[in-house]
Copies of this chain bind each other. A is one copy, B any other.
Amino acid sequence: MSDLVTFGETMLRLTPPGNDRLERTDTLEIRVGGAESNVAVAANRLGVDATWLSKVPDNPLGRRVVRELEGYGIETNVVWADEGRQGTYYVERAGAPRGTSVVYDREGAAVTTTRAQEVDFEAIQNARVFFTSGITPALSDTLRETTTNLLKAAKQGGTTTVFDFNYRRKLWSPSAARQTLSSLFPGIDVLVIAARDARNVLGLEGDSRQLAHKLGSTHDFRTVVVTRGAEGAVAWHDTVVHEQPAIETDTVSRIGTGDAFTGAFVARRLVGEDVPTALEYAAATAALKRTIPGDVALVSKAEVEGVLEEETGGVSR
């Protein structure tokens, strides 16, 4: 029985080597990535049993996703589907002014057909935390309904619900996202949201502190975490706002930084640490993530604590 259960889509991630272009490359790196499994892995790295729920096609591509995630240490609990694809996305890494770009190839994914009754409710209700993100309801009408129902089920089971707003402009418009995601707010205990999304999607104004405060005082959240820039963050909790600066890092891969942050935050809260301490772990985990290729925060708790103790980035030998 895992303390943390997450639900969402995980895609195959195909990436040309170095900074080469899809138009020309003859090889691709293949890994997996998805907000909800990323969060599960990061939390697990920081000491929490975690399970990822999803639906994947019963073919070598679906098995690939499941096996890679199990190889990162988490449990998986998936519906094996006869219909529907394995979602895929292509990443072209680049520095400024090109910028890393993503080509999604996720239409028709098996996961988009998941109905609440296919999901292991018991796993969610026996967990201490249930996590999903704003990507999930954006993927299909079915998933919008399923997300609502799973959050409801978690609540009924006494499971704390954590939700990352995670607006993706390639999936839906700001107004569609606002409407759907706002409707989920009553079912959410802990909201994580980028300052950028709070402004551009929810239409709020102010600095991060103000955004956190507005969200916390307007809705019925227990905690609101507003992330910004290189994953520094501000948390509103019990009417108090805590600030966590970002940690400097030589960035190798940005994707998954927010998930690493959230996973670590949830993990440290689960082991009983207070919000400011959890934020510190979260920022350190996010910083380490950025030194690691791929979407997943393959860190150890010792490494995270090494960062907090301000060990530097030389050669350890």
- On A, residues with C-beta under 8 Å from B are 14, 18-31, 59-61, 63-64, 67-68, 70-73, 85-86, 88, 90, 92, 94-105, 107-108, 168-170, 247-252, 254-255, 284, 287-288, 291-293, 298, 303, 307, 311-317
Contact = CB atoms under 8 A, between A and B. Distances in A.
Main secondary structure on chain A at its contact with chain B?
A: loop
A7 to B, nearest CB: 20
Contacts of A168: 317
9 contacts: A20-B293, A23-B60, A23-B298, A26-B29, A27-B30, A28-B30, A98-B288, A108-B108, A254-B315
Given A73-B67, A105-B61, A97 B28 contact: no
Contacts of A68: 71
Given A71-B68, A97-B247, A247-B97, A30 B25 contact: yes
A79 to B, nearest CB: 17
B63 A312 contact: no
Contact of A248 (B18, B96, B247, B314): B96
Given A92-B60, A105-B61, A252 B19 contact: yes
B94 A313 contact: yes
Contact of A26 (B30, B63, B250): B30
Contact of A59 (B72, B103, B251, B254): B103
Given A14-B14, A27-B29, A96-B250, 8 more contacts: A60-B90, A68-B71, A88-B88, A88-B105, A96-B248, A98-B307, A100-B314, A254-B314
